[in-house]
Amino acid sequence: MITHPDHELLWLSCAAKRCCSLRTVRPTGGDIWRIATRLHVPPESFLRSIPAEPDADDGVLLAPTSQPVHLALARRATKGRQAACVFLMHIREEVARCGLGELRPLPCQAFPGRDACGTLRIREDHGCTCRSWNLAELDRPAVAALLAQEAAERARDRQLVHLWNEQVKSDEGSKYSLADFCGYLLYAYTAQMAEATAGGTA
């Protein structure tokens, strides 16, 4: 009988966590809300802005004519080491752990899986130098469910970004910070989560 190693355990058992230094992680709005509200930290303390393509439908405007940006997990450079995700904890040389545990953003939990038009694939940009990954190692139903949740949250984010951008563009002199947008995102997600809880769908 072919057994499928537990994808989560395989990932956790790697001490190097090079993927957390090499990848740019873009959390969903839901990820940002979960991390910020459960850790009681402002989103801007763990996020940075990165340029988005000019025609990206989820690119955030901080001024009417500014280049749109995406939100990514911040990186932290430590002495003698490559800059890594702000949540990566180095325990000792070559031993690191994600400090978020179950709060890891959805793209991190589904890693190295990706959705290719409804088909589960291994990300080409996984950046792992420790081992090679193959589909048989992934917990397919679990990864597919995570990717579906990520897609749903990104669709919600696109709507929120659209409303935000319309507001920014309507005021020629407006100028906003990353913290301003994060405040808007948290407010919108908090309202949506409260609605879902009241409706019994949370």
Restricting to residues 3-32, which ones interact with ligand SF4 according to CB under 6 A?
11, 14, 16-20, 25
Among residues 59 and 105, whose Cβ is nearest to ligand SF4?
Answer: 105
Among residues 61 and 138, whose Cβ is nearest to ligand SF4?
Answer: 138
Q: Can you tell me the distance from the alpha carbon of 22 to that of 35, in angstroms, rounded to the nearest whole number?
A: 21
Among residues 47 and 62, whose Cβ is nearest to ligand SF4?
Answer: 47
Q: Is the Cα torsion angle 133, 139, 142, 145 positive or negative in sign? A: positive
- The structure tokens 């994600």 sit at 98
Q: What are phi and psi for residue 112, nearest 5 degrees?
A: -95, 30
Give me the least distance between CB of 144 and ligand SF4, in Å please: 19
Determine which residue in the list 50, 130, 191, 194 makes contact with ligand SF4, applying CB under 6 A.
130
Q: Residue 87's CB: how many other CB atoms inside 10 A?
A: 22
Among residues 75 and 180, whose Cβ is nearest to ligand SF4?
Answer: 75
Restricting to residues 87-116, which ones interact with ligand SF4 according to CB under 6 A?
87-88, 98, 100, 104-105, 108, 112
Give me the least distance between CB of 136 and ligand SF4, in Å please: 15
**x/- track of binding to ligand SF4 for residues 131-160 (CB under 6 A):** x-----------------------------
Q: Which residues bind ligand SF4 (CB under 6 A)?
A: 11, 14, 16-20, 25, 73, 85, 87-88, 98, 100, 104-105, 108, 112, 126, 128, 130-131
